Amino acid sequence: MMARMITTRYPKSVRHPDGDVSVLKKGSNNKKLGWKVTAKKWRGKRMFSLTLVERDTCPHSCHHWEDCYGNNMPFAHRFATGDDSTGWTELELRLKKEVGELMSKYPEGIVIRLHVLGDFYSVNYVHVWEGLLIDHPELCVFGYTAREGDDPIARALIYLNHAFPDKCVIRFSRSHEYIGGLRYAAEESFTGESFTCPEQTGIMPSCAACGACWIANKTVRFLSH
């Protein structure tokens, strides 16, 4: 019987957040994401992304645990969370520094995609984003999570979405229709009320040009990778 994977298939691609390499990557390095946001909401902001280590940061209940699309991304720079002996992980401290620097460089604001790989790994980490959203009025974030149910991290993310409805959209990766203020990202097979990712179908060239995931309440369906 094959052993269950517990981290990325590509450990040599893992970077530590205390190095010289920025943890937040420009969207211009990723054709799917794009760079300058032209979508009506958040227009004019610059796109960045954060990539963590798949499985290390993800809930074991994730239905893509074995077939994570990170399995096909050997060259992605994944950032470890690092030591947390100070009460904050090295990654969290680095994020506070980099976001502050980027907000000074781009006063019109930035949008951060959370996460290309990986997931929200602790309640404290969610609180870091809460603090950054408070400190930086022109900061916006969007992304997806496999956290759900009574998971304290899921509850913290629900609060984050409700506290910053115009700046934070974290969708829950479940085949479910929009309900009670919760937005979802579904499998390709989902037949409920939804729309298919316009970037994946070629209708829009990038997330920065589209913005549907952070504008629409309706569930977004993603094509199988």
- Are residues 122 and 113 in contact, defined by beta-carbon separation less than 8 angstroms? no
d(CA 32, CA 174): 22
Beta strands across the sheet bearing 110-114: 24-26, 46-50, 110-114, 139-145, 168-173, 184-186, 219-221, 194-196
Q: Which amino acid is at 92?
A: E
pTM value is 0.95
pLDDT, tens digit, 9 for 90 and up, residues 186-196: 999 999 999 99
Taking the CA of residue 206 as centre, how many other CA atoms within 13 Å lie in the half-sphere pointing to its CB?
19
Structural domain includes residue 197: no
Decide if 212 is inside a domain: no
Distance CA(19)–CA(79), nearest Å, equals 10
Q: Is 195 a domain residue? A: no
% of the chain with per-residue pLDDT over 70: 98
- Tally the residues of the chain: 225
The pLDDT, as a whole number, for residue 1 is: 41
Name the domain count of the chain.
1
Per the structure, the complete domain to which residue 108 belongs is given by: 11-175
Max distance between CA atoms of the chain, in angstroms, equals: 54
> In this structure, is residue 139 part of a structural domain?
yes
Is 216 inside any structural domain? no
Q: How do residues 88-117 score in pLDDT, each as one tens digit?
A: 999 999 999 999 999 999 999 999 999 999
Neighbours of 137 (CB within 10 A): 10
Weakly modelled stretches of the chain, pLDDT under 50: 1-2
Residue 215 lies in a domain: no
In a domain, 222, yes or no: no
pLDDT at position 2 is 47
Query: Has residue 48 been placed in a domain?
Result: yes
